[in-house]
Structure 1
Amino acid sequence: MKMIKTLLLALTFGTLLSGCESESEKVLKELNSVEQMVKSQLDGLKTHLKNGRIQNAVLLQKYGEYIKKNKPEMSEIADALMLDAASDGPAIQSLYDRLNQIKSQIPAAAERGNQGGNELLPELRSISNGANTDIFNMKLSDPVNVLAQMSDGKLPPVSLEGVKEEDKANDQVAHQLVGNPQYGSWQTNSSGGTFWAWYGQYAFFSNLFGGPYRYSTWAGSRGYSYYNDAGRDYYTSPQQRRQYTQTENRVRKSYQSQGQKFQSPYATKPKSTSTKNRLSRPNKFNSSYASNNSSNRSNSSKSNSYRSRSSGRSRSSRGGGK
């Protein structure tokens, strides 16, 4: 695992040294090598999930079973959230899907040489970070805390180290999942308004909200979630990132046309940023093929020390539209 991160952080495609292979051949070989290393990392995460070694995955299963037993009317949504803890669930499968998409792009990228190789590296870094067991563990804190809200205070939420209570404040059930493309997407209605549309298996949350969750309301008053405040770089595909940028720009223009001030949902970060600072961040790396004049001293990302612990403090859930 450490070797994978070190190699990823030491890699970029720059000036090739002389050799028998062409630039395209060397880029193809290195991209294939990196793709295999990231796949190995994902396979390791899958094994950890299967063997019950991801703390929040185990907690997610336990909380889901509690909800199914004590609130049978919520069994269907509990089952949907519990799938994130599975070794073949949507949370890890989305990472495999992104890696497979990158793999299909490697031959064409290699034909463009160093430039093509560098175009694929950011996504490979993102997937590699998303497959980190500590980071993936914290990704699961969002569905865990949704189930805690659904328990009416019977189940303690996961306490996020470095995030103050006032930064997490939002009692609306499942607010942590709004904005996360794994659970839904932003849609535009006939009046031009933008609202959150849950995917079918999560449609139950629409009833709890009492109506569509509007982008303007969410942008100005959303509470803390791991995905929106720390994990977007790792769990968002390039296509999803473009779609979200388009949505934000569209809402911003709408506000400006009406003379109103628009605040990006990502403009205000939690007052305590120690959690984010502790996450391993992709750095710009230098090539193993670069000339001797290039810097090759990039450090590997430190293991994520982002920890979770069950907090004795819990908050009652409540519905209500936005």
Structure 2
Amino acid sequence: MAAMLMRILTLTLLITLVGCGDDRPDKIAQFQQLAGQRIDTLGKMLNDGQIRNAMLLKQYTGIMERQNPDMAPLFSELAKDATTNGPMYSSLVNRYQGLSNASNYVDLDQQLAEAENIYHAADPSLYNDMISDPLNVVADMSNGALARVNSISREAAALANGADDFGTGSQLVGNPGYGNWQTGSNGMSFWAWYGMYSMFSNVMRGPIGYDRWSSRRNYSYYNDVGRSRYTSPKQATAQNKTFERTKKQFNSQGRKFDSPYAKSRTGSTSLSRQSTSTPKASTTGTRSKSGSKFRSNYSKNSNFRNSNSRTTRGVRRGK
């Protein structure tokens, strides 16, 4: 009798342990597989001209190249965001490929968060909104001849937000696809453009310092809506380091320094439902752990139950 009772207790314990197993690796694999499918679909839609803002970006940059040939290399670079060769799409592919290596993340929560963020970032509607930043940069460079999209005018936004005018291209400042924050010899950080984007320096009002930009920046889609989806953990860490370094320097001088993301700026119009429901990123650039949230999202998404177990070929080859 005692032996029978022991076997029953052992079996009950095993069932309990199995039921309490960590399901995060399975969820990561599912999000990874679905993200791969979405990235491939997004790439095809870009190539087929099915993303509205991407098509407008091609048209706008083509017009501006003809009207301002001196800036043609910059417009040509911006036009890449309408294709699979642009920094935003390339970043999604690179982040997707990095999901396979758990050592890229501090823990499973961060890896799961990244998997879900990539999945959502590859949503065509969300990506269409993301492209509004480079598109509106080109619109601003036309001096009003080309209409802005998904955003009020730069002047109206500056008035609403009490923002400084940092010059054309300032919507892209802070977005790691176009540049990064570097520290000067005085210990202060400034924005440094990547490659051909450095031509923005010709139309800006001097270097953009992190301290002034943080408190006086204007609205942009990336900084005020899309940062949680379009920022990798590594990029978020870099953003946080810049903030902490600047905050420490201000504190040593007896001054207060707030994160550039502590207050959302006004300026968006007609964004997609996917954008309006996008969670707000951490104000400092770090990512909070939210395992319960991901379990909830996972369980409500019926697509996971019907998914093929293989990743798509195009993204796997880094297309």
Compute the TM-score of the two structures, normalised by the length of structure 2: 0.75
| Cα offset, 1:241, TM superposition | 0.3
1:158 is the counterpart of 2:156: no
| Cα offset, 1:245, TM superposition | 0.4
Residues 194 and 19 from structure 1, CA distance in 2 versus in 1: closer, same or farther, beyond 3 angstroms? closer
SS at match of 2:145: coil
Q: Which has the bigger relative contact order, CA under 8 A and spacing at least 6?
A: 1
Equivalent positions of 1:98-117 (< 5 A) are 98-105=95-102, 117=108
Distance 2:15 2:61 in 1: 55
Tell me which residue corresponds to 2:193: 198
Letter in 1 for 2:244: N
1:127 is the counterpart of 2:118: yes
Tell me which residue corresponds to 1:48: 45
Percent identity between the aligned chains?
36
SS at match of 1:195: strand
> Which digits, 9 at most, give the CA deviation of each residue in 1:36-63, with x for residues without a partner?
1110011111111111111100010000
> Which digits, 9 at most, give the CA deviation of each residue in 1:66-116, with x for residues without a partner?
11000101100001111011023321110110011111228x99xxxxx95
Tell me which residue corresponds to 1:251: 246
1:145 is the counterpart of 2:140: no
> Which digits, 9 at most, give the CA deviation of each residue in 1:227-283, with x for residues without a partner?
000010011110110111010011111111112232321122135889697234498
- Partner of residue 79 from structure 1, selected from 49, 70, 76: 76
Q: Do the aligned partners of 1:145 and 1:157 also contact (CA within 8 Å) in 2?
A: yes
Tell me which residue corresponds to 1:92: 89
Distance 2:83 2:267 in 1: 32
More helix by share: 2
SS at match of 1:270: coil
Distance 1:262 1:20 in 2: 49
| Cα offset, 1:298, TM superposition | 6.0
Matched pairs, number: 271
Distance 1:158 1:297 in 2: 33
Distance 2:101 2:95 in 1: 10
Distance 1:300 1:30 in 2: 11
Residues 220 and 57 from structure 1, CA distance in 2 versus in 1: closer, same or farther, beyond 3 angstroms? same
Q: Do the aligned partners of 1:46 and 1:88 also contact (CA within 8 Å) in 2?
A: no
Distance 1:248 1:39 in 2: 32
Residues 280 and 300 from structure 1, CA distance in 2 versus in 1: closer, same or farther, beyond 3 angstroms? farther
Distance 2:179 2:110 in 1: 28
Distance 2:250 2:72 in 1: 40
Q: Do the aligned partners of 2:243 and 2:259 also contact (CA within 8 Å) in 1?
A: yes
> Which digits, 9 at most, give the CA deviation of each residue in 1:116-171, with x for residues without a partner?
5444110011111111111101110000010011112211111438x974447665
Distance 1:121 1:158 in 2: 33
Distance 1:95 1:141 in 2: 17
**Structure 1 unaligned blocks of 5 or more:** 1-15, 110-114, 288-294, 302-322
Tell me which residue corresponds to 1:307: none
Distance 1:235 1:51 in 2: 23
SS at match of 2:100: helix
| Cα offset, 1:17, TM superposition | 6.3
- RMSD of equivalent CA atoms: 3.3
Q: Do the aligned partners of 1:285 and 1:298 also contact (CA within 8 Å) in 2?
A: no
Tell me which residue corresponds to 1:278: 276
Tell me which residue corresponds to 1:263: 258
**Structure 2 unaligned blocks of 5 or more:** 1-13, 281-289, 303-319
